[in-house]
């Protein structure tokens, strides 16, 4: 079992919802992002999503796009991102880490080389938003053979005809995108999310985690109550971009985690 699967088994046994937090590797710099990353488990985060900076992040809204540009301007690379994970793993061998990004940097590195390095560094799963199920042989299948979960996104436009294809090689959890559009574009609505999560869960035993458009503890609680947990990204990235101290960013994360865990 991966750390992701173990964590969700534990949460299920405890009757708790998951709180997943996203941050961009290298934003505003390696030292600060690593410091925040190390503090996330203590702030109540169950799974960490670590963004891999990329020049053309088509699924991301302005907040995360700008975070990626700041990281790239600071010379952040795939190698440095993997080193962040290694540094995190020196003190934490349990918290699951999902690398979220785009295929180009992985393709450029070479899939076999990347998977070997990701495994060695301590990454547990991948979310690669620009690889559809039709391209599973590119990365999804090799990743799963290498022991990494491959997490797929379902969206409001994933209809009943498409959903089985999306789910067929997904592992770890399903990431349901609560809105149509880019990250941070609108507020998630539990009344809209609930029926969609139920539709997905009717076709899979995997946990369903909801992301996009969650900015407050109240929304985190409402959304987590409809699913197996929630993801917050843009709101956390915005807190970091505002120049707040690490302890203040982590206090904000704690408030979100408390909201999700109270569902």
Helix residue spans in the chain (DSSP H): 3-14, 30-39, 62-73, 78-89, 103-109, 111-121, 140-145, 163-167, 190-201, 217-226, 234-241, 246-261
How large is the angle between the packed helices 246-261 and 30-39, nearest 10 degrees?
40
Catalytic residue among 46, 60, 196, 222: 60
60 assigned to active site: yes
Q: What is the dihedral of CA 215, 216, 220, 221, to 10 degrees?
A: -160
Catalytic residue among 49, 124, 228, 239: 49
Question: What tokens were used for 197?
Answer: 């999560």
248 assigned to active site: no
d(CA 5, CA 193): 23
Burial class (CB in 10 A: 0-12, 13-18, 19+), 159: exposed
Q: Please, are residues 125 and 146 in contact by the beta-carbon 8 Å criterion?
A: no
d(CA 92, CA 195): 36
Question: What tokens were used for 49?
Answer: 């999503």
**DSSP, res 205:** S
**Hey, which residues are catalytic here?**
49, 60
């Amino acid at each position: 079992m991966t750390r992701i699967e173990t964590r969700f088994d534990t949460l299920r046994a405890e009757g708790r919802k998951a709180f997943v937090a996203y941050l961009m590797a290298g934003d505003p710099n390696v030292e600060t992002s690593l410091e925040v990353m190390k503090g996330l488990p203590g702030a109540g985060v169950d799974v960490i999503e670590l963004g891999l900076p990329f020049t053309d992040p088509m699924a991301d809204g302005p907040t995360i796009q700008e975070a990626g540009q700041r990281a790239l301007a600071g010379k952040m690379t795939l190698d440095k991102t993997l080193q962040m994970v290694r540094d995190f793993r020196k003190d934490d061998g349990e918290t699951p880490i999902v690398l979220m990004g785009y295929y180009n940097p992985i393709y450029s590195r070479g899939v076999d080389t990347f998977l070997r390095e990701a495994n060695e560094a301590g990454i547990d799963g991948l979310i690669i938003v620009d690889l559809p199920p039709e391209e599973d042989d590119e990365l999804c299948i090799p990743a799963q053979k290498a022991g990494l979960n491959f997490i797929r996104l379902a969206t409001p436009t994933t209809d009943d005809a498409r959903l089985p294809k999306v789910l067929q090689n997904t592992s770890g959890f399903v990431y349901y995108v609560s809105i149509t559009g880019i990250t941070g574009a609108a507020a998630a609505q539990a009344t809209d999310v609930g029926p969609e999560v139920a539709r997905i869960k009717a076709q899979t035993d995997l946990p369903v985690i909801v992301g996009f458009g969650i900015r407050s503890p109240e929304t985190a609680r409402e959304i987590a109550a409809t699913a197996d947990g929630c993801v917050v990204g843009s709101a956390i990235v915005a807190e970091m971009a505002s120049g707040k101290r690490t302890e203040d960013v982590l206090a904000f994360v704690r408030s979100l985690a408390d909201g999700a865990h109270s569902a």
